[in-house]
């Protein structure tokens, strides 16, 4: 009797994406090997809050240079805590004209809880979003651009598309981060813990993986336009496989007319297919 062959990863991904009203970019690589997968991997996708990972890298690079210290207090004025945006930090500190948080706390709010105000405070410290782009370009990650803050992205729909990366460039960035080629060991360990403990996107990369799987990741989510289309439902991260290897994965669901639940299900299903395939 002939045993049925398991479908290839490409076939599994095609089955997941079949009929979906969305453009989906995917890249995955087992770090330290040539085992990889790419679907629209060189196409530009809007990052949304995924860029908070990249911003954290640039800020921590400055920490490593001695520009700042993680535990030094930073004064935050009330004007920096915009009211009509996602900001757990603002909600945690509703009173007072000025609050003081450590740089570590601000990075944790931004990269961990995806706080928009914390993100823009970090960009103010850096001086410009272009500092993030320049830092990563110098490290060899060419296929990305970060030019606008969260506040600027909220001003007009088209602005978000100026902050872009390719799925393959996202993998390249994750790889450099995981292999400690961007940051000191101390800074890498700090950011790894922040991303590992992030409460956002529980139904995305993590959604269908075995309970207890370690996933250090960063999500990104857009609003919807007047036609009901979402420009971005994203998740990128590093998944630890049962064999001890690390799988870097980036999934960008763009220009989607699917429901929020379906968009997250796409990401979870793609992540599970990659997890299963690369665990064999």
Q: What is the full per-residue pLDDT of the chain (280 aa) written as tens digits?
A: 444 457 899 999 999 999 999 999 999 999 999 999 999 999 999 999 999 999 999 999 999 999 999 999 999 999 999 999 999 999 999 988 899 999 999 999 999 999 999 999 999 999 999 999 999 999 999 999 999 999 999 999 999 999 999 999 999 999 999 999 999 999 999 999 999 999 999 999 999 999 999 999 999 999 999 999 999 999 999 999 999 999 999 999 999 999 999 999 999 999 999 999 999 8
How far is 216 from 126, CA to CA, in rounded Å? 24
Helix (H) or strand (E) holding 233: strand 230-240
Catalytic-residue membership of 130: no
Beta-bridge partners for 239: 215, 247
Determine contact, residues 248/38, Cβ cutoff 8 Å. no
Tally Cβ neighbours within 10 Å of residue 217. Answer: 24
Burial class (CB in 10 A: 0-12, 13-18, 19+), 147: middle
Model pTM score: 0.96
How far is 235 from 55, CA to CA, in rounded Å? 16
Q: What is the pLDDT of residue 5?
A: 58
Catalytic residue among 33, 49, 231, 279, which?
Answer: 49
Q: What is the pLDDT of residue 28?
A: 98
Q: What is the pLDDT of residue 263?
A: 98
φ, ψ dihedrals at 226, nearest 5°? -60, -25
Q: Which residues 6+ apart lie within 8 Å of 254 measured at CB? A: 22, 23, 24, 25, 45, 46, 231, 232
Pick one of 3.40.50.360, 3.30.1050.10, 2.40.10.10, 3.40.710.10 as the CATH number of 9-279: 3.40.710.10
Domain-wise residue ranges, the chain:
9-279
Q: What is the pLDDT of residue 1?
A: 40
How far is 24 from 11, CA to CA, in rounded Å? 15
């Amino acid at each position: 009797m002939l045993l049925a062959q398991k479908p290839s990863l490409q076939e599994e991904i095609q089955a997941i994406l079949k009929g979906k009203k969305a453009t989906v970019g995917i890249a995955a690589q087992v770090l330290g090997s040539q085992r990889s997968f790419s679907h629209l991997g060189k196409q530009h996708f809007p990052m949304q809050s995924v860029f908070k990972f990249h911003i954290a890298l640039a800020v921590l690079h400055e920490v490593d240079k001695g520009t700042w210290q993680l535990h030094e207090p930073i004064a935050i004025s009330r004007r920096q805590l915009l009211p009509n945006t996602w900001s757990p930090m603002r909600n945690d500190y509703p009173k007072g004209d000025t609050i003081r948080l450590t740089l570590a706390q601000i990075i944790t709010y931004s990269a961990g809880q995806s706080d928009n105000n914390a993100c823009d405070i970090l960009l103010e410290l850096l001086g410009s979003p272009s500092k993030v782009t320049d830092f990563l370009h110098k490290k060899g990650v060419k296929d990305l651009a970060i030019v606008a803050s969260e506040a600027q992205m909220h001003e007009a729909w088209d602005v978000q598309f100026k902050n872009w990366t390719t799925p393959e460039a996202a993998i390249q960035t994750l790889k450099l981060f995981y292999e400690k080629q961007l940051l000191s060991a101390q800074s890498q360990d700090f950011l790894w813990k922040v991303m590992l403990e992030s409460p956002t996107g529980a139904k995305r990369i993590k959604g269908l993986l075995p309970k207890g799987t370690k996933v250090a990741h960063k999500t990104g989510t857009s609003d919807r336009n007047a036609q009901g289309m979402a420009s971005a439902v994203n998740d990128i991260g590093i998944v630890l496989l049962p064999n001890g290897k690390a799988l870097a994965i980036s999934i960008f669901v763009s220009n989607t007319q699917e429901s929020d639940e379906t968009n997250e299900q796409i990401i979870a299903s793609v992540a599970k297919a990659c997890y299963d395939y690369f665990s064999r």
